[in-house]
Amino acid sequence: MSVFTGAGVAIVTPFHEDYSINFEAFAELIEYQIANSTDAIIVMGTTGESATTTIEEHIEAIRFCVKTVNGRVPVVAGTGSNSTDTAVYLSVEAQKCGADGLLVVSPYYNKATQNGLYHHYKTIAAAVKLPIILYNVPSRTGCNILPETVVRLCRDVENIVGVKEASGNIAQIVKLFALADGVADVYSGNDDQIVPILSLGGKGVISVLSNVAPKQTHDICQLYFDGKLKESAALQLKAIPLVDALFCEVNPIPVKKGVALMGIAAGPVRMPLSEIEPAHEEKLRKAMKDFGCELI
Any catalytic annotation for residue 108? no
Any catalytic annotation for residue 289? no
Rounded Cα gap, residues 146 and 173, in angstroms:
9
| Active-site entry in 32, 164, 257, 283 | 164
| Active-site entry in 135, 203, 257, 283 | 135
Residues tagged active-site: 135, 164
